[in-house]
Chains A and B, each alone.
Chain A
Amino acid sequence: MSLDADDVAKIAHLARLEISQDNVAEYARNLSSILDLVEQMSAVSTEGVEPMAHPLSLAQRLRPDVVTETDQRDAFQHNGPQVEAGLYLVPKVIE
């Protein structure tokens, strides 16, 4: 499996990652070699094999639908890059 510069740009966009133009070729080379490694999976037939989602085949636990969290907005907003009046600020989205 070989990825080219356009593939890398497309994947980087999907992942919302900026990759500088200078590094695209190196990413293409490294990602292609990782996909070559991954390609070895096709050596074995998995027809009819159940996909494994949990090592112990346990179902997710459910809990009663009640409020358990307390309001810690101020504490959490300490880590916000830009906050004002309890809100998180981002560049203008709607003109």
Chain B
Amino acid sequence: MHTKSLAQLAQGLQAGEFTSVELTHRYLERIDEFGPDLNCFITTTADLALQQAQAADARIAAGEAGPLTGIPLAHKDIFCTRGVRTSCGSRMLDNFIAPYESNVSEQLARAGMVMLGKTNMDEFAMGSSNETSYYGAVKNPWNLAAVPGGSSGGSAVAVAARLTPIATGTDTGGSIRQPAALCGITGIKPTYGRVSRYGMVAFASSLDQAGPMTQSAEDAALVLGAMAGFDQRDSTCVEQPVPDYMAGLEQDLKGLRIGLPKEYFSDGLDNEMARVIDDAIAVFRDLGAELVEISLPNTTLAVPTYYVVAPAECSSNLSRFDGVRYGYRCEDPQDLEDLYKRSRGEGFGDEVKRRIMIGTYALSAGYYDAYYLKAQQLRHLISDDFKQAFEQVDVIMGPTSPSVAFNIGEKSEDPVSMYLSDIYTIAVNLAGLPGMSVPAGFINELPAGLQIIGNYFDETRLLNVAHQYQQQTDWHRRIPEQFS
């Protein structure tokens, strides 16, 4: 049951082969069995899940079900879920019971999906390895000594080990695509503004975007259709109709122009990774796609630019955590300043504090022009590189991550080496474009991902391209043996 696609699950539910309650029990059992070793859940919500499953079964019986009704899911613990702890992977919010519901979780609940629980993540979504969580590191199901990637590591692992059919994630610099690549699943970060950020704990508001993490592009198309859309509660959410992503999946790829940025395939790229990506591209060539060498000249500037923009916005966003209205408060504060400093000093972990300090420094008097203004200008140049490329090509392809999963502890002492693991994903957020990662092979028995980048609001094409690739390959169906 746990290896079925969403369409197969929906069919089984409609045909009465199994009920949503049975399906939910099955996944809750798998979470009980495998969850603790993988540490991919912060909170499980069994009672709530069974209530929602009963309601879904009633809807199905009444003939009022949609394609997602009765199907379980897990939410990254960054989405506020009313009445359920929403920790964001931080001690700061360890005691925070969300008083309202995020738009993403609300829409998926309205579609009849059943929430199994909240997944582990890097603290405040700051990290690329899921080691910065207050709740401990998450393990990669392909090798328990390896990281799952981050920040949506718990969601990626829960899907990879088939502890949930799908999970939600958020992506500020690669946090959906990089863990999807490292865990061998499919993940899409939509265009900035496609999905509402309402009720999503803010990290860097001009970059944050939510998306689904799934077993296949087809599943992603189905879930994204239910997540996306205009919401007036997010001032940057774009007022544009949501296309039928499922309807576009079967389009053939003859004549599709694929851009291969020479900067992504330069000397720095690992040989084995180059082989995996070349093999994937060969599949598209066989499907009739045309390969075009392109250039994104400002590629190397993306990581430095991001590490000004994201920390600056994070320092501003996280100033709300003051120990007064919600969240962690230190013991016996001497005065108000002591309350602020110790609540924040004790409530936040090291990586979060580093980023707040970098952002505070970059925004402080006298440094604004040299850092934030400069970064926003470079952001324009990076974005223009993509604009020019999309005049020649329909999609851009390359590796999602420079390497497969590294070991737990390997990069945690050196923040800069960790940051460079997002070198291929970060520019996409700076430009606000949609990007996707699909499983494309294995290196040393660890999954590797192909990144597909599209033009603004061209999610239909990304999903189509990924789906066609998944009709020719079975990398996305591989499940780590221990969890099969």
Contact = CB atoms under 8 A, between A and B. Distances in A.
Contacts of B371: 38
B383 A41 contact: no
B360 A91 contact: no
Contact of B192 (A35, A36, A46, A55): A55
B236 A54 contact: yes
Interface stretch (B93-101, B151-159, B165-173): B93-101
Contacts of A91: 333-336, 338-339
A34 interface: yes
B341 A17 contact: yes
Nearest to A48: B377
Interface in A36-71: 36-44, 46, 49-56, 58, 60-61, 63
A18 interface: yes
B377 A52 contact: yes
A93 interface: yes
Interface in B287-337: 298, 300-301, 303-305, 307-308, 315, 319, 322-329, 333-337
Interface string B220-242: 00000000000010011011000
B381 A18 contact: no
B345 A18 contact: yes
Main secondary structure of the interface of B (DSSP, over half): helix
A15 B344 CA distance: 9
B364 A14 contact: yes
B34 interface: no
A19 B353 contact: yes
Contacts of A40: 300-301, 304
B358 A35 contact: yes
B70 interface: no
A21 interface: no
Contacts of B431: 55
A81 B235 contact: no
A14 B96 CA distance: 26
A92 B336 CA distance: 7
Interface residues of A, number: 54
Contact of A39 (B304, B345, B353, B357): B304
Interface string B406-450: 000000001110010000000000111100000000000000000
Interface size class of B (residues with CB under 8 A): 35 or more
Contacts of B26: none
B383 A15 contact: no
B416 A37 contact: yes
B404 to A, nearest CB: 23
Interface string A11-43: 111111111100100010011011111111111
Nearest to B365: A14
A13 B360 CA distance: 10
B99 A78 contact: yes
B456 interface: yes
Contacts of B239: 61
A46 B308 CA distance: 16
B206 A55 contact: yes
Given A11-B361, A78-B99, A56 B304 contact: no
Interface of A: 3, 8, 11-20, 23, 27, 30-31, 33-44, 46, 49-56, 58, 60-61, 63, 72, 75-76, 78-82, 88, 90-93
Given A12-B357, A38-B307, A55-B433, 19 more contacts: A3-B361, A8-B357, A11-B360, A18-B341, A18-B344, A34-B307, A38-B362, A44-B301, A44-B378, A49-B381, A51-B376, A56-B191, A56-B192, A76-B99, A79-B95, A79-B97, A79-B99, A91-B334, A91-B339
15 contacts: A14-B360, A16-B341, A17-B353, A34-B307, A44-B301, A44-B378, A49-B378, A51-B377, A53-B376, A54-B432, A58-B236, A63-B232, A80-B324, A82-B329, A91-B339
